[in-house]
Amino acid sequence: MIQAENVFHATIVGGLALAGTWGWYVRRPRLRGSTLAAPWNWMGLSLWAVAVVEILLLVLPMPGNTASLLRFVVAMTAFCPSTAILGAKRPQHRAWQWIVLSLWVVLILPAGEALLFPTESGLRLGMVRGIFLGGLCAVGIANYTATPRWPAAWTLGFAQFALATPFLPGFLGGGRFQMSPLMGLAALVCSITWDTFLSDRHSAATSPLEALWLDFRNGHGILWSLRVAERVNLAAKENGWPVELAWSGPKWKEAADPANQTETAVGMQRILRSLLRRFVSDAWITARENRAAMNHEDSAA
């Protein structure tokens, strides 16, 4: 017979899953035309994988070893969204999802080993695997640290840590921090909510060049943004333009008359558009340019 306490906990898990799904669903249409759709789909998959397993274990209690293995398998899905962003460039962004899936299979190999060679202590990762998970977590956090999405990245990192804690080696292992799957699920929901309702806002830039850059930077993170900025600045240097694309936007190196600045900005915008087509659609680019024009008109009014 199912205990009333388990039903209560299952209700909480279901409520968190529904809240996270609502946030995930609201943001998903905004990612159309962008290579960020696949990482966002991994986020939703991880949310529901963790929630379904927790509800299953609450409604149908299983032996401790089986429950531990199931929790480990779904916990590893939390590392897929931040990994998927690392391949968010056309045309390899679709094939990259198979690499993400392969990574997940590699991450859950210890579960297979635990099934074949069970131990009294249960599933416990070795130091090398633990460090590897820490590296994946750190890369995901660092990629958005200098953007408005840093709270979402940090809460996702906390979710990864909370879900993996029972299996980590060394002083972190053995559940010493008593992180529960419910804490990890709640952190996943917080990460989705922050991304959807707090950080997923378009810039208030009044120039198309700045609008394209800031929205791309905030969406794709440090890794891809620095590579794009490097290509743009290289082209600017070759053309002798007194401007560089910095993290905060275009920076003019010397005074120039407005006509030359406008002509240079148009040239840089053209180069940036060409580079961004590897990540976003023409409709995405046009929408940002039109929004910048509207912001310019509003500021001038």
Bridge-partner residues for 245, per DSSP?
Answer: 250
- 177 has a pLDDT exceeding 60: no
Question: What's the confidence (pLDDT) of residue 9?
Answer: 80
Q: What percent of the chain has pLDDT over 70?
A: 87
pLDDT of res. 301? 55
Predicted TM-score of the model (pTM) = 0.89
What is the model's pLDDT at position 23?
A: 94
pLDDT the model gives residue 95: 94
Percent of the chain past pLDDT 90, that is, above it, reads 50
- CA quadruple 138, 142, 144, 146: dihedral positive or negative? positive
